[in-house]
Chain A
Amino acid sequence: MELLYNIFIDPFVQMGAMPDFLLQVLWEGFVSGILYALLALGFVLIFKASGVFNFAQGIMVVFSALSLVSLYAAGVPAYIALALAILIMAALAVTIERVVLRHLVNQDDIILFMATIGLSYFLIGFGELIFGGEPKAMITEELGLPTGSTTFDIFDGILILQHIDIAAAVIAAILVAVLAIFFSKTRIGRGLRAVADDHQAALSVGISLNQIWAIVWFASGIVALATGIMWGAKSDVSFALQIVALKALPVLILGGFTSVPGAIVGGLIIGFGEKLFEVYWGGLLGGGVEGWFAYVIALIFLLFRPQGLFGEKIIERV
């Protein structure tokens, strides 16, 4: 009985007793949800256009953020460093397309997936060789991002909002809007959607697959850079991030592999759920449940709705 009480009643009593704390937890959940959503967005872009599940997205986040920070540390002004980091991601996208993807056209999805695991190992080694393995601080202020915090008085308590978190939410919204316009209004965007729909048909009307793939990897490189900046501003930029980045996988399961809105909603659900569960129920299990909560949610979800919330109905099922 006491266990049932602890599971079903007590957490809600606590929520009711301290609404300001609940709001703070929800806000934290929202912020990490935004970051998961940004991560997942990078995966979705590539998956839509090439059917490649890009395991290296996590290391691309780290790699882009590290190049930005290291360029700044080498004496390059912040905004020029940002531009150069974008150029580096473009070069990386073209190289990956040339060296890896072009040779693996028409292979099994799983082979391509394993190739991206190899790619992420290569980038880890390469990145650590160039930038060194130790964590680095993100140049938040130099990029003109706000760093302060605002405190609200509500429900006889306080709610603290970090400005950088608000900026993250705004930037994420802008990125999604820009991507949506890019996909629906521009020539290249139409090409991307055509390729996503059917590779062969797109080829036969004269769309260059190789070019589209390079562009889409570049786009997800930019998303990776934005994620890296936001994440780096909250905690330092380190290679440990790329394990956290695996959480984009359950986000995608929830949202569906091919849906941009799905990535956002999935990220938010995971973010909220994870924080609420950790704070109100985690104590029952000994804490530290954040590490697997997302995956178990995804596991349960898979059993009932394998295509995700917004995914296409067609899913290869056994």
Chain B
Amino acid sequence: MFYREAGQYKTNYKDDLATFPILQDRIAIGIYLVIAFVAIPIFGNDFFINSMMIPFLIFTLAAIGLNILTGYTGQLSLGTGAFMGVGAYACYKMTTIFPDINIIILVVLSGVFSAGIGAIFGLPSLRIKGFYLVVTTLAAQFFLEWCFIRIPWLYNYNISGAIEVPQREIMGVIITGASASPTARYLVVLSVVVVMTWIASNIIQGRIGRSWMMIRDMDIAAELMGVRPLQAKLSAFAVSSFYCGVAGAMMVFFWLGAAEVESFDVNQSFRILFMVVLGGLGSLVGCYMGAAFIWMLPIMITIAPSIFGLDINAATVEHINFMMIGGLIIFFLIMEPHGLARLWSLAKQKLRVWPFPY
């Protein structure tokens, strides 16, 4: 009823190309941002912020990274976890070498390292694709995991083999380490994720993003039309790994506080892939939905039975979680390959024409 575009005229090309052409969408985005930046820090309790919102946002960022590679460029990768690890370890080393530099700058810089590593492991994609590329990304995954264990320099020769986050502050507010408040960490994570989503959206709609999508849809045709596969693919690998690296660095610095190599194993890669597939390949909104869904699902499975008075132990929850995720992946691939994002846009379409069917 309220979701109508009647009367909203597009009078120039700029309006026509706007990301959110409908006024109501722009209002909704504004409301979401107000809720995220103002309402949640004020009203949310520590559990909600620390165990739901922060990981949700960090996984969203990683999912955006993978979606750039898989959803927009069509190159399947199973090395996401390792690229997140590169970001985390790079950030950790930089905080020990340059303790005085602003931590947020370091987090963003650590993405540069994983972008470099990602581009190196993306080189085979120039000759091969499909399953063959999956193997090369798996090679990256296992080789980098091995590096995180066997190169003690990376974790400062710590006996436990873990990286532990030092305390850092910005403008007098402690934002990392054990004594940082969840709200402060949440606001930092939220700001980074919002800014990087905005940048991603612009890259994707720009020349580079369009060349990625051309490569995805048909690489030979794209090449004939002047897209250089070398640049397009390597830039996709680099940008994707950059996002994953920043997500990995934030995961350790603003959420976990300390991490070992297990945080970046192949299961992490699968989890991010599932977020992308469920959320929707080739959709930024989908990354948010997929990350929220996969992250919240086990929490829901834990909470739901207790409402009905049933008691389920933690192991069973995890097994049911695995089954549901697997089942849902198959279900979505069969019924709606474009994921939750597609369902969302279908719902919006229905709203626009309501009460008429079309």
Is the CB of A298 closer than 8 A to any CB of chain B?
yes
Distance in angstroms between the alpha carbons of A299 and B112 in the assembled complex: 24
In which size bucket is the chain B interface? 35 or more
Q: Is the CB of A292 within 8 A of B327?
A: no
Q: Is the CB of A302 within 8 A of B132?
A: yes
Is the CB of B296 closer than 8 A to any CB of chain A?
no
Lowest 7 A-B CB distances belong to which pairs?
A: A125-B322, A122-B326, A118-B329, A121-B326, A295-B139, A125-B323, A292-B142
Is the CB of B273 closer than 8 A to any CB of chain A?
yes
Distance in angstroms between the alpha carbons of A299 and B132 in the assembled complex: 9
B161 to chain A, nearest CB (A): 13
Distance in angstroms between the alpha carbons of A122 and B273 in the assembled complex: 15
Question: In the complex, what residues of B have CB within 8 A of residue A113's CB?
Answer: 76, 131, 134
Distance in angstroms between the alpha carbons of A97 and B75 in the assembled complex: 27
Question: In the complex, what residues of A have CB within 8 A of residue B76's CB?
Answer: 110, 113-114
Q: Is the CB of A289 within 8 A of B146?
A: yes
Is the CB of A2 closer than 8 A to any CB of chain B?
no
Is the CB of A250 closer than 8 A to any CB of chain B?
yes
Is the CB of B119 closer than 8 A to any CB of chain A?
no
Among A82-90, A126-134, A194-202, A207-215, the stretch in contact with B: A126-134
Instruction: Count residues of A near B (Cβ-Cβ below 8 Å).
Output: 49
Question: In the complex, what residues of B have CB within 8 A of residue A295's CB?
Answer: 135-136, 138-139, 142-143
Q: Is the CB of A288 within 8 A of B334?
A: no
Among B91-99, B173-181, B312-320, the stretch in contact with A: B312-320
Distance in angstroms between the alpha carbons of A302 and B133 in the assembled complex: 9
Is the CB of B321 closer than 8 A to any CB of chain A?
yes
- The 9 sampled A-B contact pairs (Cβ below 8 Å) are A103-B334, A118-B277, A121-B270, A122-B326, A129-B320, A287-B150, A302-B135, A306-B127, A316-B130
Q: Is the CB of B136 within 8 A of A302?
A: yes
B245 to chain A, nearest CB (A): 20
Distance in angstroms between the alpha carbons of A175 and B319 in the assembled complex: 34
Is the CB of B305 closer than 8 A to any CB of chain A?
no
Q: Kindly identify which residue among A120, A285, A289, A317 contacts B127, using a CB–CB cutoff of 8 Å.
A: A317
Q: Is the CB of B329 within 8 A of A115?
A: yes
Q: Is the CB of B322 within 8 A of A128?
A: yes
Question: In the complex, what residues of B have CB within 8 A of residue A285's CB?
Answer: 150
Which residues of B255-290 are within 8 A (CB) of A? 266, 270, 273-274, 277
Is the CB of B325 closer than 8 A to any CB of chain A?
yes
Q: Kindly identify which residue among A53, A100, A110 contacts B330, using a CB–CB cutoff of 8 Å.
A: A100
What secondary structure prevails in chain B residues at the interface with A?
A: helix
Is the CB of B21 closer than 8 A to any CB of chain A?
no
Question: In the complex, what residues of A have CB within 8 A of residue B320's CB?
Answer: 125, 129
A289 to chain B, nearest CB (A): 7
Is the CB of A318 closer than 8 A to any CB of chain B?
yes
Question: In the complex, what residues of B have CB within 8 A of residue A257's CB?
Answer: 131
A49 to chain B, nearest CB (A): 16
Is the CB of B337 closer than 8 A to any CB of chain A?
yes
Which residues of B92-147 are within 8 A (CB) of A? 124-132, 134-136, 138-139, 142-143, 145-146
Distance in angstroms between the alpha carbons of A111 and B335 in the assembled complex: 12
A270 to chain B, nearest CB (A): 12
Tell me which of B127, B139, B143, B318 has the highest count of chain A C-beta atoms within 10 A of its own C-beta: B139
Encode contact with B along A131-148: 1 for CB under 8 Å, 0 otherwise.
001000000000000000
Is the CB of A119 closer than 8 A to any CB of chain B?
yes
Distance in angstroms between the alpha carbons of A100 and B30 in the assembled complex: 41
Q: Is the CB of B145 within 8 A of A291?
A: yes
Is the CB of A159 closer than 8 A to any CB of chain B?
no
Is the CB of A167 closer than 8 A to any CB of chain B?
no
Question: In the complex, what residues of A have CB within 8 A of residue B328's CB?
Answer: 118
Q: For the A-B complex with A125-B325, A128-B319 known, give 4 more contacts whose Cβ atoms are closer than 8 Å.
A: A249-B131, A289-B146, A295-B136, A317-B129
Distance in angstroms between the alpha carbons of A163 and B76 in the assembled complex: 42
Distance in angstroms between the alpha carbons of A100 and B330 in the assembled complex: 7
Distance in angstroms between the alpha carbons of A229 and B186 in the assembled complex: 49
Distance in angstroms between the alpha carbons of A285 and B321 in the assembled complex: 39
Q: Kindly identify which residue among A104, A123, A246, A292 contacts B333, using a CB–CB cutoff of 8 Å.
A: A104
Distance in angstroms between the alpha carbons of A104 and B333 in the assembled complex: 8
Q: Is the CB of B128 within 8 A of A302?
A: yes
Q: Is the CB of B330 within 8 A of A296?
A: no
Is the CB of B41 closer than 8 A to any CB of chain A?
no
A299 to chain B, nearest CB (A): 5
Q: Is the CB of A299 within 8 A of B130?
A: no
Q: Kindly identify which residue among B129, B139, B274 contacts A316, using a CB–CB cutoff of 8 Å.
A: B129
Q: Is the CB of B334 within 8 A of A299?
A: no
Q: Which residue of B lies closest to A306 (CB)?
A: B128
Q: Kindly identify which residue among B74, B145, B329 contacts A121, using a CB–CB cutoff of 8 Å.
A: B329
Is the CB of A94 closer than 8 A to any CB of chain B?
no
B1 to chain A, nearest CB (A): 37
Is the CB of B346 closer than 8 A to any CB of chain A?
no
